[in-house]
Amino acid sequence: MKKRILIALFALTILISSASAITQLKETIREIPLNQWTETTKIEANEYLVYKFQGTATNNLDVTIEVFSGDSIDMLLFNSENFTEYQSMMKSGKPKPYNPYSTGKGMDLKYIKYSFVIPANDTYYIVEDNTYLPDNGGLPGGSVIVQMKFNMTRCLECEQAALEIQKKTEEANRISEAQRKTQEETNKSKEPQSTPGFESFSSLLVLAAVCVFSRKR
């Protein structure tokens, strides 16, 4: 009887270990080298592919992701801070709060196309997720073939607007500094001024008093 129990426990341990091995998530990170770039790649079940790139504020980003073969996947866009939260969840293997941009987010989809204005200079991450996480997303049914088209361009109008704002801010600061200096000079001019003649007369009186006092002694 004990032998059967031990065999059953051993078999259960093997099953649990096998299940853990199957659900272990694989992270693959690639850096996007160009502002205009296309790649078609294979993503295994329970693997998430991360495309990393440097974004400049006001740049325009155009992305198209399409699954050519296989089941639906999750598609996400993060800045550096929010990607850290997502990465922590994936490494733990358990659902946790994470905050992707609403633009660029597609759950359980085979196709997404979007445009996005980069809000700040930062590192950004585009994720193609073929895992069982996060919640409310697609479930891996095997490997998938996915193509991503990436195009990042300068927004000249945005840059011009930002430059105009900078100029106005600098001009406002210059005017404020000039007003401050003028006010300081005005305050100084209102301070009571000493009279040289009066000071000399006071000195003579003091000297005369000293002389009189000396003679009396």
Question: pLDDT tens across 14-44, in order?
Answer: 444 444 444 789 999 999 999 999 999 999 9
Phi and psi at 119, nearest 5°, equal -80, -25
The model's pLDDT over 116-141, given as tens digits with 9 standing for 90+, comes to: 999 999 999 999 999 999 999 999 99
The model's pLDDT over 56-108, given as tens digits with 9 standing for 90+, comes to: 999 999 999 999 999 999 999 999 999 999 999 999 999 999 999 999 999 99
Fold of 24-159: Jelly Rolls (2.60.120)
Cα 51 from Cα 128, distance rounded (Å): 8
Cα 58 from Cα 161, distance rounded (Å): 10
The model's pLDDT over 143-166, given as tens digits with 9 standing for 90+, comes to: 999 999 999 999 888 878 878 888
Cis peptide before 134 (omega within 30 of 0): yes
Q: What is the pTM of this model?
A: 0.68
185 confidence band (pLDDT: 50, 70, 90): confident
Q: Where are the domains of the chain?
A: 24-159
Place of tokens 């105009």: 164
Place of tokens 């011009």: 160
Quote the Cα angle for 162-168-178, to 5°: 150
Fill in the DSSP letter of residue 194. P
Closest residue by Cα to residue 130 from 210, 41, 33? 41
Beta pairing class for 26-31 and 47-55: parallel
Residue 31 token pair: 């850096």
